[in-house]
Homo-oligomer: A and B are copies of this chain.
């Protein structure tokens, strides 16, 4: 069974609405184990919609459309689909009464064009819309399943959850598992993946990169849940060995959640001293509910004065080595550690650009110091990119260092 998602509406093709319907439906189809390789969007135009439906009927068994079921003249989804499939439209008195009742209930008048919503292609059935006026429509004709859903996301989602799942589910089982890594580039990760030669018939492996992190996604499909799970466990065991250093978690967990959880489990309190990242690491950690259990405070010491006053960085250090130096990173961390009773401090100083560089210190140079009561390390980093990328990549790197520190903490 192959599905295609067709989202209909000029508001999408002119870029006024972000297409979250296709996103939602793709996720749901994926979870149901239904193959879905195409998404098409087309504006409110009868001829073009006709072409799109014809193309989809050639390459998919299930077609899910959203949009174009309302009462206005721009709404033409069922009319066009009926025409393409050679079906007549029939008026349904029960549905008309149902819509009429709904309007009465909310004390409004049913306009004559709402009557249009009570028609459907012959042989099709209405799908109940519990949160709006436009009903959905289901056609099963010549071994194709066509499901027409309304465009408003809430109506579409409610209808999908309540009715559509049962109409399209097949016997296959689909399982996914993500292995999340940080600190290794996508291309070198993939070369190493290829060398592992993980050839399993039922399982596809794909990688997705984002801001210094790479997700390894396993997608298993088959008739036996047990078999898929066994194969997945085997693959994950191999990945755990090969990429041990880089794996920070599985499935939907984010790096900042992992960091907060680890700090919480080990009962560690952390403080941050940020310069070039300007509070980004702190704001990422505080996105996680419960962050207040582990983050005591952060000091964004953007100016040299702030570094000296808040963190006791020596004026002579700043003069001799500069604000972006191993020595300053160390003194920043030491300053906070001596001032507050913390288990762990991370300090960051660097050049995010576009200005601030000199011959020996290019844009993208960053020093990070991770310090606990009894030890510390200073890490020198170099990043490419614009100001925001350098800040983002630095933040990810710092979170990763905190993660590694926690992991090894006894």
Chain A interface residues (CB < 8 Å from chain B):
10-20, 22-30, 36-45, 48, 51-52, 55, 59, 70-74, 102, 105-108, 111-114, 131-132, 154, 185-188, 190-191, 194, 206-208, 217, 219, 272, 274, 276-283, 285-287, 289-292, 295-303, 305-306, 309-310, 339-340, 352-356, 364, 382-389, 391
Contacts and interface: CB of A to CB of B under 8 A. Distances in A.
A97 to B, nearest CB: 16
Contacts of A298: 278-279, 298-300, 302
B279 A274 contact: yes
Decide if the interface of chain A is mainly helix, strand, loop or mixed: mixed
Contact of A106 (B41, B309, B382): B382
B302 A292 contact: yes
Pairs A-B, 4 closest by C-beta atoms: A278-B286, A279-B279, A15-B27, A15-B26
A209 B206 CA distance: 34
A37 B26 contact: no
A11 B295 CA distance: 34
Given A41-B38, A287-B391, A384-B106, A70 B186 contact: yes
Contacts of A186: 70-72
A294 to B, nearest CB: 9
Nearest to A29: B15
Contacts of A14: 26-27, 30, 36, 219
Contact of A302 (B55, B102, B291, B356): B291
Nearest to A356: B292
25 contacts: A13-B37, A15-B23, A15-B30, A37-B43, A40-B41, A55-B55, A70-B187, A73-B190, A106-B382, A106-B383, A111-B191, A112-B191, A113-B191, A132-B385, A278-B279, A278-B285, A278-B286, A279-B279, A283-B283, A283-B391, A289-B355, A297-B302, A298-B299, A299-B310, A309-B339
A52 B12 CA distance: 19
